[in-house]
Amino acid sequence: MSFDGARLMELLPAVYRLRDAEVAGRAPGGLLTAAEAAELALLEAAVGPLDPTQKRRLAELRSARERGPLAALLEVIGGELAVLEENLAQLYDDQFIETAAPWAVPYIGDLIGYRNLNDKGARAARRAEVAHTIGFRRRKGTASMLEQLARDVTGWNARVVEYFALVATNQSMNHRRPFNLARPSMRDGGALETLGGAFDPLTRTLDVRRIELGRGRYNVPNIGIFLWRIDAQRLEASPAAPDAADATGRRFRFSPLGNDAQLHTRPEREEEISHLAEPINVPEPITRRRLKDQLDRYYGPERSLLVELDALQVPASDISVCDLSDGPAGWAHDAPLGRVAIDPVLGRLALASDIAIPARVLVTWHYGAPGEFAGGAYARLTTFVQRSGPVIRVPDDQPTIQAALTALGGEGAVEIVDSGRYDGPPIIDVAADKMIELRAADGRRPTVVLSGPLTVRGGDGSRAAINGLLIAGDGVDVPATGSNGLRALEITHATLVPGRTLAPDGTPSASGAPSVTVRLPNVETSIVRSITGAVRIADGARATIVDSIVDAGGETNAAYAAPGGQPAPGGPLVVESSTVLGTVQADSLEGSNSIFLGRVDVTRRQEGCLRFSFAPIDSIVPRRHRCQPGEGEAAGNVPHFASMRYGFPTYCRLAASTPDAITRGSEDESEMGVFRWRYEPQRHADLLTRLDEYLRVGLSAGIFHAS
């Protein structure tokens, strides 16, 4: 039974309750303080409906006004009893792994002999692994158990392959395996398109090379563990981008930037622990053949993709899967009559000629991304910086961003509540000593297409923030006008498209063009968990870049410098766990755990330090500390990237051929660069530690990246 102030009052004799009510009635405002009485008067005199927080506060103040001294005392005592009651309930919950507090999880694990791993990596999965430990030991060495183990330890989707079943051998007549063929069928397109991947069903001859080194696979004792290091990020009800080269108005692309983009699978939950992952259970790229054969599993609400025409969902029966690649005269195929054609490999969509051209084409789809980075359908609520002042929502309260900024009056937040497409350029004008935040709602990723620079200005001591947006076009500009007194610009979990816009094949339209330009001195610019093009910071201003990518489109293009036509040193720069593609010219530099792919020139080398980072050997930088390449180090210690083009899931990911001096070169032995926060080397080490414990004697395991 819960004991609060009201419950304790009910336990007292009625005479005491009556006397307490008499005492409360003698004072007009009860026991309220002057501030509480003023707050109550304001709430009662408010015009219009109150929000839930205000309603709750109004009820609390009215209750306190009618409360006497005895009731007030029992309210305090009841609060302490509630704390004690909650503590006792939690002590009971701490006996079970499902409900235990985080501090109790290692102690429960110690009771069953669970060995702790690194404190980095997939820390959130520690509870699940402890919970599964007993079950793991009972099913030690089985494929389904190893698959679940890999998911719990690394936090990534996984698939386990037993290669003994895929070795071409002479078969016993007492144990025939019709699927184990010595030669693959060239007519089996579904099997051939999975060649070399996690779902490859084709047999091979014996390979005696060691699978632990990632070389040999097909041998009797070999187990392959495939890991997906990318997630499928959802983009819900996003306007499809019309094909600029199409005069009919019937061709679109899923990407709001108008570029070709591979669609990915939204993983389905596996209901049985004995079930081995299938393509539908991992964030695999969707192929045309797989989408055609399993359309009902991939298409529909809460599935991998969905198309809406004028707010009406297109049923799966009206969907055709086509190859919509480029042909001699436009796209290779047209949609069949009455159908909507989809190409999941290129992310293209075409309407049949007999379908009326809709006013709006909305698509829900998933793209490959490395996790909670650069904006997307993930939780960002804790990163919102403007929590006081008015909040104007677009398009609920105002139809456009500029109308919302104008209505804001210089302070507050403009929140875009959908993943729509908006035009610009808006002007952020902040009142003196105030702040404006332009942000996407939690779990949304709207696209803002600028036809000019997004101008940010304000009164003395003002601040501006941008959070969660995908911005294409001329980027953000802080002008150096005489009345501009802006002091801080914060860009968080956002993407300012490198090269401003993308061509259909993903080529940037203006490679090396700046995405952030600060012409005003004394401005503090911070870029956190974001992707931007080149950055220009005036002398006298400062910039801090954390967990981000600055992409100038090439190693010789200026990624960081001062504004203007001729490259000149920009203001003081701090870079932490970031990747900079291009040259850097800065007044001073404080860098750590980062990769500078272009030459770095620093004017004041007596200040700052470069720690645990990669910078070309001919760079002029402050004192180096355990950097690559260092004196006497191998000349080949340079980073290799899986992709250096924005728009690909492997964008700025270190390739497997990168030396350990880079992949384990940061101060905590994680990789240098923007994805240090993922702690991938630690996740690999944790999985290898667990494999030593759970792999059966005689078996060998290799870890492969499915992405």
Where does a domain end: 625, 649, 677?
Answer: 625
3-state secondary structure 161-205: EEHHHHECCCCECCECCCCCCCCCCCCCHHHHCCCCCCCCCCCEC
d(CA 89, CA 483): 59
pLDDT at residue 640 in the model: 93
Q: What angle do CA 16, 20, 23 make, to 5 degrees?
A: 145
In terms of domains, do 87 and 133 share one? no
What's the confidence (pLDDT) of residue 256?
94
Query: Which amino acid makes up residue 342?
Result: I
For residues 408 and 397, what is the distance between their CA atoms, to the nearest angstrom? 11
The CA distances from residue 207 to 166, 178, 215, 217, 224, in Å, are 11, 22, 9, 6, 13
Does one domain contain both 264 and 210? no
37 and 52 together in one domain: yes
- 209 and 317 share a domain? no
* Average pLDDT for 427-449: 94
pLDDT at 305 over 70: yes
Q: Which pLDDT tens digit goes with each residue over 53-65?
A: 878 777 777 777 7
Domain count for the chain: 4
Residue 376 lies in a domain: no
CATH number of the domain within which 467 lies: 2.160.20
Average pLDDT over residues 429-436: 94
The per-residue pLDDT for 124 is 47
**More confident of the two residues 106 and 453:** 453
Q: Is residue 455 part of a domain?
A: yes
| Confidence at residue 513, expressed as pLDDT on a 0 to 100 scale | 93
Instruction: Among 93, 112, 145, give the residue marking a domain's end.
Output: 93
E strand spans, 303-357: 306-309, 312-313, 319-321, 326-327, 330-331, 340-343, 348-351
Q: Has residue 692 been placed in a domain? A: yes
Q: Which domain holds residue 521?
A: 389-625
Residues 468 and 569 in one domain: yes
Per-residue pLDDT at 28: 62
Q: Are residues 88 and 118 in the same domain?
A: no
Does 378 reside within a domain? Answer: no
Specify the pLDDT at position 118: 67
Say whether both 531 and 608 belong to one domain.
yes
Is 620 in the same domain as 546? yes
Residue 400 and residue 365 share a domain: no
Assess if residue 669 is contained within a domain: no
- Residue ending a domain, among 29, 64, 93, is 93
pLDDT tens for residues 117-145? 766 655 545 787 788 888 888 888 889 99
Domain assignment of residue 425, yes or no: yes
What rounded mean pLDDT belongs to the chain?
Answer: 88
Give the rounded percent of residues in the chain with a pLDDT score beyond 90.
Answer: 59
Where residue 8 falls among pLDDT bands split at 50, 70, 90? Answer: confident
Q: Cα–Cα distances in Å, from 112 out to 8, 145, 181, 689? A: 43, 18, 45, 17
Residue 444 exposed, middle or buried by CB count within 10 Å (0-12, 13-18, 19+): buried
Digit-coded pLDDT (tens) for 318-340: 999 999 999 887 898 889 999 99
Cβ count near 17 (within 10 Å): 15
As a whole number of angstroms, the distance between CA 417 and CA 440 comes to: 6
- Tell me, yes or no, whether 569 and 469 share the same domain: yes
Is residue 382 a part of any domain in this protein? Answer: no
Q: For residue range 464-505, what is the model confidence (pLDDT) as tens digits? A: 999 999 999 999 999 998 789 999 999 999 999 999 999 999
Distance CA 154, CA 582 (A): 32
What's the pLDDT at 545? Answer: 97
pLDDT of residue 487: 95
What's the whole-model pTM score? 0.84
Residues 495-543: tens digit of each pLDDT: 999 999 999 999 999 999 999 999 999 999 999 999 999 999 999 999 9
220 and 353 share one domain = no
Residue 226 has pLDDT above 50, yes or no: yes
Look at residue 247 and tell me whether its pLDDT is greater than 80: yes
Backbone φ and ψ for 348, nearest 5 degrees, come out as -115, 155
In-domain check, residue 53: yes
185-223, pLDDT tens digit by residue? 788 888 888 888 899 888 888 888 999 888 889 999 999
Span 12-25, pLDDT tens digits = 888 877 787 777 66
Residues 446 and 475 in one domain: yes
